[in-house]
A = this chain, B = another copy of it.
Amino acid sequence: MRILAEGTAPYLPVDPDGFREYVREHKSRALEPKLLSAQEAVARFVADGDYLVYDCNYLQRGPSILIREIIRQRKRDLWLCGKFTYVDVGLLIGAECATKVDCGFFYQGKAIDRAIDEGRLEIYEYSNVVMTLRLQAGAMGLPFLPVRSLGGTDGFSQSGAKLIEDPYTGQPITIVPALNPDVALIHVHQADQYGNARVFGTGIAHEESALASKKVIITAEEIIDTEEIRSDPGRTSIPYYAVDAVVHAPFGAYPGTCQGYYGSDTAHVIECFGAVSRDGVAQYAEKWISPFATDQEMLDKLVGEEKLSQLRANETITEGYRP
């Protein structure tokens, strides 16, 4: 059994026993109310220097409200899990909140080019599934998982992966280090006050991200009664004990879509792409984030009731999204 090759990138240290001890000390197994405002949740649970994972992205059932809150609170030096993202990486880098990214995919633009040119951004190379698999390893409490891709690519060389001789087949097999982020942000359709959360429709790695992470903030379109959770336990995607904060966030995925609940605000979506493309994140933040103490204020004043009603009406498909 030999290590045949290894990538050279730094990666978050692999420490399953340390993660267990964190869980033991910091995660409550009691049913405790966890409702917080977005402001409080980010202030308490997102620290400068944290490794941050969010599920889905700013445009598709992502925790967009918390990404804006992170920018508002000027968090610094975040390390991003860049799986299946579009504009979020660009926004967080353009706003100078992030300095490292494990890359699966992100929408590229001058905001990112400039950060690279100025030496403000390190990129380590993976791919989407490889990142969700690293999260799965983290969510299983394991140090690593094998994977049948990444091997042979230049991404492999600039990652934390290793090529080993499989002790069962004798053949080469790639393994990737478990990922246990400091903090996970996950937007869901419904949650109760304890953090039992329901996602409807497809997702990227919401369950894995929550279970793999030390601190977990759930934003939920609807807060539902625990009675409802107990009446259909098969619909629970994330159990309460993995969750530290629950934020009631109707339109929390705005300007993105929250499938089954509302469509995206296409004009705003294009504006996001523009901000990242032409290095205009500061202006974007000046318009959509900094003038407002809370996201709700932005939704009220800048988007308005009529537009929001329209976005709800645009989502004509509800099959499969209402239990």
The CA of A124 and the CA of B169, in the complex, are separated in Å by 20
Residue of B nearest to A233 (CB): B320
Q: Hey, which chain B residues are within 8 Å of A233, CB to CB?
A: 320
Q: Does A232 contact B (CB under 8 A)?
A: yes
Q: Tell me if A's interface is mostly helix, strand, loop or mixed.
A: loop
- A164, B232: Cβ atoms under 8 Å? no
Q: Hey, which chain B residues are within 8 Å of A17, CB to CB?
A: 171
Q: Does A222 contact B (CB under 8 A)?
A: no
The CA of A147 and the CA of B178, in the complex, are separated in Å by 13
Interface-facing stretch out of A74-82, A136-144, A249-257, A284-292: A136-144
The CA of A105 and the CA of B295, in the complex, are separated in Å by 53
Q: Which of B162, B173, B178, B232 contacts A319 (CB 8 A)?
A: B232
Q: Does A15 contact B (CB under 8 A)?
A: yes
Residue of B nearest to A199 (CB): B234
Q: Which of B141, B164, B173, B234 contacts A1 (CB 8 A)?
A: B164
Q: Which of B15, B177, B320 contacts A232 (CB 8 A)?
A: B320
The CA of A320 and the CA of B233, in the complex, are separated in Å by 6
Q: Does A122 contact B (CB under 8 A)?
A: no
A118-133: which have CB < 8 Å to B? Answer: none
- A167, B173: Cβ atoms under 8 Å? no
The CA of A141 and the CA of B173, in the complex, are separated in Å by 12
- B200, A3: Cβ atoms under 8 Å? no
Nearest chain B CB to A320 CB, angstrom units: 5
Given contacts A141-B148, A319-B232, A320-B231, contact A169 B3 (CB under 8 A): no
Q: Does A33 contact B (CB under 8 A)?
A: no
Nearest chain B CB to A258 CB, angstrom units: 15
Nearest chain B CB to A200 CB, angstrom units: 6
- A14, B320: Cβ atoms under 8 Å? no
Q: Does A16 contact B (CB under 8 A)?
A: yes
- A143, B169: Cβ atoms under 8 Å? yes
- B169, A15: Cβ atoms under 8 Å? yes
Q: Does A245 contact B (CB under 8 A)?
A: no
The CA of A168 and the CA of B144, in the complex, are separated in Å by 8
A143-182: which have CB < 8 Å to B? Answer: 143-148, 162, 164, 166-169, 171, 173, 175, 177-178
* 6 contacting pairs across A/B (C-beta < 8 A): A1-B1, A1-B3, A3-B167, A16-B169, A201-B234, A232-B319
